[in-house]
Amino acid sequence: MIRMGTQTFSNLVATSVVLPLIASILTALAGIIYLFYRQNKRPAVTKPSHVFRGGDREVIIIGSGVGGSAMANVLARDGRKVTVIERDLKQPDRIVGELLQPGGVRALSKLGLADCTHNLDAHEIKGYVIHNLEAKTEVVVPYPREQGNDDATKNITSARAFHHGRFITSLRERAQKEPNVTYIEGTATKLVEDNGVVVGVQYKPKGEDELKTIHAPLTFVVDGCFSKFRKMLVKEPVHVASHFVGFLMHHCPQKISNHAELVLTDPNPILVYQISSESTRILVDIRGVMPKNLKDYLLDSVCPQLPEHIQEPFRDGVINGRVRSMPNSFLPPSFTERPGVLVLGDAYNMRHPLTGGGMSVCLNDVVIWRQLLRGIPDLTDYEAIINALRVFHLRRKNNHSFVVNVLAQALYELFAAKSKHLVSMKKACFEYFRLGGKCVAGPVSLLSVLDPKPHILIGHFFAVAVYAVYFVYQSEPLWALHRTIYRSVMILLSACGILFPLLWGEIKCLITL
């Protein structure tokens, strides 16, 4: 097979970015005009009859996971009196939420919480190794270098992988040390409303039967992927695309030190990354109905497809370990205007965890909200908070969420492809990364959440589609021009079929602002 040179295809990438960039600019201008129009059409916010006293708490946070714990930390340091309601303060034990992309590490540092990843026996991740077992080859995709003041200060920007429970415990312990933070171990049962404004939370303390109520002018709902308050606060429904089946492998060798591994198996991808000095997490994606005998499926169907250095630890983990599953949910963002309450984290927006962007999105959201709330001294100024909510949506789209949401779903649809046209794109994507240069630097800047620009995402996605068309022309004989054209058109249509609905899901949220 003839391969296109790096410089030639990099030029093609640059060309493919132009039209999406123009489209992005036009969309942004239309959005600004629309928002200006809508701004003058909004009704005034009704004031509640409940009176908040000066010494009362100012913020209630439901949930003390990544987002809730981080928010409690920074708001307390900014002088807010915060109460956190968490169902169970024991160390959580999950199979996801264990990889923090470099953009998330950077957000954690901005929040002054970088030391919460210390003393966890965390593992540094410097990039990915993508295995194409059909072609019996792999490609190394390193994270970009972060530019310092001179060449001597360039450092490899890295992700952090860790036991989820240890990280959450570290964040909680940090919050509990803040004098302005009060923790309540109990279950939030109801949002208390007054004249259409949320003014507090009803909860049941752990081990008690009596319901209690606390009041505050602002409540954050951050109760995770299984949120009980989502239906009343978020417009979009949750879609479960697949399930991750995961367990820990012990003393599993790495193909390249400090690199996560993505294995493109049949039919779905597998993610492998070390989370401590002894433990490596493996996540097997299963789409559709779960196998009746899960362990047999893993041993008979999955294990033979894995790289040789993983197979023995994999068998041991399946036989002797704890195999669990977790739904891979998709929840597109939506704009919900409810005075007195804000939704954050997985309760509000989820994407496929293949790219490991969930915690990075959440922490960057906390960064934005901290900045916005610093400009609102009185949290009973609900009009100011709703105006800040609109700014929040615009900033998160531009800064991180648009790219992370679309990239995660698009890559999953590509790597779990079954149609022959998408399979062609999947093969082209792998070859695209092998070109190196801009063809790796651009996508990795998106994956790492260090430079998540929408036009870069759109440009590289269609560049992969064009590269797939290039391979079609290389593989078909001249006499089969009709078949070449048909396959090329179907590849481009398939690419549009993946990307355009995802783009619309993101843009639709802005239209409703």
CA dihedral (315, 317, 321, 326) positive or negative:
negative
Distance CA(47)–CA(24), nearest Å, equals 38
pLDDT score at 44: 63
Residue 150: pLDDT band with limits 50, 70, 90:
very low
Q: Give the range among 63-77, 164-178, 224-238 with minimum mean pLDDT.
A: 224-238
pLDDT digits (tens, 9 = 90+) for 265-316: 988 999 999 999 999 999 999 998 899 999 999 999 999 999 999 999 999 9
| Identity at 6, one-letter amino acid code | T
User: Which residue in 232, 250, 337, 247 sits closest to 294, CA to CA?
Assistant: 247
Distance CA(105)–CA(157), nearest Å, equals 9
pLDDT score at 14: 47
Cα distances (Å, whole numbers) of residue 60 to 224, 386, 441? 16, 17, 41
Residue 155: pLDDT band with limits 50, 70, 90:
low
Q: Give the range among 50-54, 106-110, 244-248, 468-472 with minimum mean pLDDT.
A: 50-54
Q: Give the range among 38-42, 181-185, 251-255, 349-353 with minimum mean pLDDT.
A: 38-42
CATH code that applies to domain 59-121+162-237+331-404:
3.50.50.60
Distance CA(180)–CA(321), nearest Å, equals 42
Residue 1: pLDDT band with limits 50, 70, 90:
very low
Residue 10 has pLDDT above 80, yes or no: no
pTM of the model: 0.90
The pLDDT of 127-153, averaged and rounded, is 76
pLDDT score at 101: 97
Residue 31 has pLDDT above 60, yes or no: no
pLDDT score at 508: 81
Q: Give the range among 90-104, 136-150, 353-367, 444-458 with minimum mean pLDDT.
A: 136-150
pLDDT digits (tens, 9 = 90+) for 191-241: 999 988 999 999 999 999 999 999 999 999 999 999 999 989 998 899 998
Residue 417 has pLDDT above 70, yes or no: yes
| Identity at 268, one-letter amino acid code | N
| Identity at 495, one-letter amino acid code | A
Q: In what order do the strands lie in the sheet with 279-286?
A: 137-142, 127-132, 260-264, 269-274, 279-286, 239-250, 324-330
Residue 8: pLDDT band with limits 50, 70, 90:
low
The pLDDT of 326-331, averaged and rounded, is 95
